[in-house]
Structure 1
């Protein structure tokens, strides 16, 4: 199962927790859910969905990886996006308990867009016990 995510700016975050949770079948009491973003310039992270921490994450990635000055920029000008996404990673795996994602109180799944605006595809795989 998969879904699309529309992003609105070059470096941003989008909460996709509810869309991932919707992929858990009604008959799955326990197991694992893996979500995977099918792109090299976006990633997924488990983090608090709070505007200030989301802004801090974006600032952290901007500070860590400069916008320009990379060899790949000669090809299409988005090396910074590839490098930022490689730090985040393309997937998260979350336990399923009692038919629901077993996230902590403040945990959400955020798609981190590093080369937007774009349409992103997230696939989900559920493995039940």
Structure 2
């Protein structure tokens, strides 16, 4: 199963928890669910979906990786996006228990857009115990 996400700015986060949860088959009682973003300039992370923390995450990535001055910029001026996405990683794996994502109280799955605005594809696979 796959879904798309429309992003609105260059560096942003989008809560995709409900869309990942919707991909869990009704007959899967326990197992794992893996979501994978099919792009090299976006990533996925499990984190708290709180606006200030999401802003902090964006600021952290912006501060950690400068916007310019990278060799790849000679090609298409988005090396910073690739480097930020490499830090985040392209996937998350979440346990499934009692037919639902077994996330902690404050945990959500966030898509981290590093080169938007764009349309991103996230594929979801599940495996039963």
**1:12-66 deviation per Cα after TM superposition (whole angstroms, max 9, x unaligned):** 0000000000000000000000000000000000000000000000000000000
**Number of the residue aligned with 1:126:** 126
The size of the alignment, in residue pairs, is 129
**Number of the residue aligned with 1:76:** 76
| Matched position secondary structure for 1:105 | coil
| Matched position secondary structure for 2:60 | helix
For the residues of structure 1 that align with 2:85 and 2:61, how far apart are their CA atoms?
A: 9
**Number of the residue aligned with 2:32:** 32
| Matched position secondary structure for 1:124 | strand
TM-score (structure 1 length as normaliser): 1.00
TM-score (structure 2 length as normaliser): 1.00
Structure 1 vs Structure 2 CA RMSD: 0.2
Moved over 4 A (4+): none
**Number of the residue aligned with 1:63:** 63
| Matched position secondary structure for 2:45 | strand
For the residues of structure 1 that align with 2:128 and 2:62, how far apart are their CA atoms?
A: 38
For the residues of structure 2 that align with 1:100 and 1:15, how far apart are their CA atoms?
A: 17
**Number of the residue aligned with 1:51:** 51
**Number of the residue aligned with 1:20:** 20
For structure 2, list consecutive stretches of 5 or more residues without a partner in the other structure: none
For the residues of structure 2 that align with 1:31 and 1:23, how far apart are their CA atoms?
A: 13
